[in-house]
Amino acid sequence: MSNLAWIFFSTLLVNNFTLAMFLGLCSFFGVTSKVDTAWRLGAANTFVLVITSVSVWLLNTFVLAKTPFLRTIAFIVVIASTVQIVEMIIKKYLPVLFRELGIYLPLITTNCAILGLALFQTSRSYTFVEGLVFAFGAGLGLTLALTLMASIRERIDVADVPAMARRMGLVLVVASCLSMAFMGFAGLGSQ
Amino acid sequence: MNAPIPTGADERHLPPAPPPPLFLDFWSGISQNNPVFVQMLGLCPAMAVSNSVINGLAMGVATVFVLVCSSFLISAVRHYIASEVRLTSYILIIATFVTVADMVLAAGFPEISKALGPFIPLIVVNCIILGRAEAFAGKVGPLRAVADALGMGFGFTLALLMVSAFRELLGSGSLLGIRVFGPRFEPWVFMIMPPGGFLTLGLIFLVMGWRLDHAARRGKGMAS
């Protein structure tokens, strides 16, 4: 039980997917101008992450034991299909959200975090439940980072920023400060 | 009566001949359309594997390999791929070459492969490759696609080398594993950790923003 809690908290805080592992940065810098869009994309990402975790576990257990060289190809095909299905479901049942997320929904396919989760889960040989907890932690960690960055950027956008730091310069320095802050969690849970 | 003798002076007033489009395809990937600094793609590996120059170089070489091979293949078969399955076919082609690169690296350079970890398979979702396949390789002939892929790949490697040289120099006091500073140098370990990656790229973007702003203000001053 404590192993599961450790996996969850370490992925959420200590090894945060965005701020410590550098995954999911395209959406981190692209979609964080408004808090609402940011946490909704984080929620969509979490959904896709959980489904991916289950599919990856199934693939690893039943298919890829005999053909490890097909790993990358199999993972990416599964992820692309999952995102396609999620996109169709959201379009049918939550059309407002679909219009809001726009192009960023199919872009979840190229989100390094999803494939990164698949690869980490495989290399650490997580069981089914461990994989689920890992995916939840990763998704919540992504959402946390996205929301934090979005709330800071909303305030930066109405502040008096020198011209040289507009666009990416200031955002990257802010990300560096956020990452530094999360480094304070290092060593959490280790005895 | 006397026809003017043609001297070389006349040619100086002609505009210079435009460079061949193939070279432009290659060069724009390094300067005007640099994938990391201008298009802001491929940021994940630019910061994740750039804590030492050898890692950055290996990632750059692997990305160039995957870019060139997949651009060539996609461009060669572009007329036979139905538009609906375009993206899936591109991803499959890219994933195949990434698997090849991953295996070659694991077999030939196991320490680098372990240091880069999962970021070699993550080349599959590197926005640069899919973006160029979608925007360019799927629409032009193989020669131009390869030129563009080489340019983008070298531009990406150049960006990686800049970031990793800065980080390794300050964070370990070495370059390519060779100690540069003396034994009393206290390395700034922050630089090879995640926040250092964000900060290095941020500093580069700040300098770029300053130069752009400077040029814009000078342009406005001259016009008014």
**Could you write out the three-class secondary structure of B75-104?**
HHCHHHCCHHHHHHHHHHHHHHHHHHHHHH
Q: What's B2's DSSP letter?
A: P
> Rounded distance, CA A91 to CA A137, Å?
26
Q: CA A50, A55, A58, A59 torsion: positive or negative?
A: negative
pLDDT band at B224 (very low <50, low <70, confident <90, very high): very low
> Rounded distance, CA A33 to CA A39, Å?
11
Residues in chain A closer than 8 A to B130 (CB atoms): 110
Residue of A nearest to B103 (CA): A69
Nearest by CB to A73, from B99, B125, B205: name it.
B99
Q: What percent of chain A has pLDDT over 70?
A: 98
Tokens of B33: 């359309």
Q: What are phi and psi of B175, to 5 degrees?
A: -135, 125
Is pLDDT at A105 greater than 60 in this prediction? Answer: yes
Tell me: ipTM over 0.90.
no
Instruction: Inform me whether the C-beta atom of residue B165 falls under 8 Å from chain A C-beta atoms.
Output: no
Q: What percent of chain B has pLDDT over 70?
A: 90
Tokens of A9: 């908290």
User: Average pLDDT over chain B, rounded to whole?
Assistant: 82
pLDDT band at A191 (very low <50, low <70, confident <90, very high): very low
The answer to whether B164 touches B52, Cβ cutoff 8 Å, is yes
Residues in chain A closer than 8 A to B127 (CB atoms): 26, 110
For range A93-97, the mean pLDDT: 84
Instruction: Inform me whether the C-beta atom of residue A111 falls under 8 Å from chain B C-beta atoms.
Output: yes
Please tell me whether the overall predicted TM-score, pTM, comes out greater than 0.90 for this model: no
Q: What's A113's DSSP letter?
A: H
Residue of A nearest to B43 (CA): A25
Q: What are phi and psi of B110, to 5 degrees?
A: -65, -35
CA distance B190 to chain A (A): 9
Alpha-carbon distance values, B10 to A48, B16, B19, B52 (Å): 66, 13, 21, 53
